[in-house]
Amino acid sequence: MKSLKTLSTVFILLLLSAYSTKAQITVYKDSVRNVFLTGYIQAQYEKADSAGIPSFDGGDFPPNVDSRFMLRRTRFAVGYAEKFFSANFEVDYIQNNVRLANAFVQFTEQKFKALSLGLGLGTVPFGLETPYSSFALESAERSRLIQTLFPDEKDCGVQLIFNPKNSAKWNFITASVALLNGAGRNFNDYDSKKNFSGSLQFNLGNKFKLNSLPVLGAGVSYYNGGSRSNTNVMLYNGINNGVKGFVLNTSPQNIGAYAKRIYTGFNGQVGVNSPIGLSKLNFEYIWGDQPGVASSSTINGPQSSRSFTAQPSTNIYNREFNGYFFTFNQSIGKTPLNIMVKYDWYDPNTFLSGREIGAASSNSTSGDIAYSTWSFGTYLNLLKGNARLAAYYDIVKNEKTSVPEYSNDIKDDVLTLRMQFRF
């Protein structure tokens, strides 16, 4: 009877909380079990420079649309913990699409409570911004760099986590290694190769406990995987008929071969307290090899270097990339007001630039264009951080190339007005 009563209580709370996640509020608890139901909603209005633009601010704008109301994220999660086991299940509703955000089972050793082993759909352990909470993110969205390499921030696999929170000597270290499908939230993996991801982060603010320097951290990350080719042609950077671009490698052996997907990154954080408030700077730089495809239209062109979530049916382009971002956030005294400035740079192909892209005989496309984005924002954190009113403006610049649609900078700046609340 007690189990039935417990299940009934959880079911009723699920119904009452049907639009939520991530506030980590315990709504049911007894001496052994710990069940939580959490949630948040991000609702917003966006205005773009022109209709139908490709965008990393909540996705491309549909044809003939330059403004939209949308639910950016509507998340609901339920978690359960008992002794050394825990589980988390999270769903996300976005624009008529319901999808899993987390489904993770984790075992934690109980002597030191520092080492955990998890299995399922979880956050990829890489860098600073990938695991950052979407609710707490200072900017409107993650950088174009991160959205390209990790479009979902999630993947299905096994993960080993070292996080000694209870150790005064080692609580400044967090280390994670994972073996992943490499297909994001797609549970139907399209190849047999598994990808490795690892992250080592140092929270030196915990180590030194300096009141004037509450945030101080650094980290390194590494990702090693591959993407399967389904055709007999692979394209690599080189000289083609005297023109810089892509050279075609045609061979039956390319069918089933793997293009390299390798990233190396480092990041840092620093925050300084002063009479005007907390001044915080985040920085991350990543470089490596990223397989992609050619673009087929102006809508998907800038996103054709995104990591695959399904088997690509067309030829794979092997590109070397680099990118970085920095985010400066300033709280204003003891008020709930914050201001934010962010710069984001992503170059999907460091071998080509400017008018070389799209030139005759180069075989290059809009998928090789570099972008820079200046983001400016201001927001109010209310109700102990559970609510936020925010306004952001992103100024997006692309290289001027020989691709007709991108011979000049396209008008793709975006204004975002957002209300969010968690419960």
State the chain's mean pLDDT as an integer. Answer: 89
Question: How do residues 267-300 score in pLDDT, each as one tens digit?
Answer: 999 999 999 999 999 999 999 999 999 874 333 4
Beta strand ranges found along 163-276 (DSSP E): 173-180, 195-203, 215-228, 233-240, 243-250, 258-274
pLDDT, residue 351, reads 97
C-alpha to C-alpha distance for 6 and 28, rounded to whole angstroms: 9
Phi, psi of 332 (to 5 degrees): -105, 95
C-alpha to C-alpha distance for 204 and 270, rounded to whole angstroms: 10
pLDDT, residue 26, reads 37
Name the residue among 127, 119, 114, 83 with its Cα closest to residue 103: 119
Question: How do residues 321-355 score in pLDDT, each as one tens digit?
Answer: 999 999 999 999 999 999 999 999 999 999 999 99
* DSSP string computed for 95-158: TTEEEEEEEEEEEE-SSSS-EEEEEEEEE---TTTTTS-TTT-SSSS--HHHHHH-TTSEEEEE
The pLDDT of residue 235 is above 70: yes
pLDDT, residue 302, reads 54
C-alpha to C-alpha distance for 265 and 302, rounded to whole angstroms: 22
Do 188 and 239 touch, CB atoms closer than 8 A?
Answer: no
**Residue 183's CB: how many other CB atoms inside 10 A?**
21
Do 222 and 189 touch, CB atoms closer than 8 A?
Answer: no
C-alpha to C-alpha distance for 410 and 260, rounded to whole angstroms: 31
CA atoms within 13 Å, Cβ hemisphere of 80: 7
**366 by DSSP, 3-state: which?**
helix
- The mean-pLDDT minimum among 239-243, 261-265, 376-380 falls in 239-243
**Residue 146's CB: how many other CB atoms inside 10 A?**
25
pLDDT, residue 19, reads 32
pLDDT, residue 303, reads 61
Q: What is the mean pLDDT of residues 197-216?
A: 86
pTM score over 0.75: yes
pLDDT, residue 48, reads 98
The pLDDT of residue 6 is above 60: no
Q: What is the mean pLDDT of residues 74-92?
A: 93
pLDDT, residue 33, reads 61
Residue with token string 């969010």? 420
98 pLDDT band, cuts 50/70/90, is confident
359 pLDDT band, cuts 50/70/90, is very high
Name the residue among 126, 175, 138, 132 with its Cα closest to residue 281: 138
The two three-digit tokens of residue 320, written as one number: 């070397």
The CATH number of the structural domain formed by 2-422 is: 2.40.160.10
**336 by DSSP, 3-state: which?**
coil
C-alpha to C-alpha distance for 332 and 344, rounded to whole angstroms: 24
The angle formed by the CA atoms of residues 162, 164 and 170, to the nearest 5 degrees, is: 110
User: Residue 381: in which H helix or E strand, if any?
Assistant: strand 371-382
C-alpha to C-alpha distance for 53 and 298, rounded to whole angstroms: 8
pLDDT, residue 295, reads 73
C-alpha to C-alpha distance for 370 and 401, rounded to whole angstroms: 10
- The mean-pLDDT minimum among 36-50, 203-217, 377-391 falls in 203-217
Which residues touch 19 (CB under 8 Å, ≥6 apart)? 39, 41, 74, 76, 93
Question: How do residues 160-185 score in pLDDT, each as one tens digit?
Answer: 999 998 777 888 999 999 999 999 98
9 pLDDT band, cuts 50/70/90, is very low
β-pair type (316-331, 337-347): antiparallel
pLDDT, residue 228, reads 95
> Which 8-state DSSP code applies to residue 4?
H
C-alpha to C-alpha distance for 144 and 397, rounded to whole angstroms: 12
- The mean-pLDDT minimum among 3-7, 241-245, 261-265, 418-422 falls in 3-7
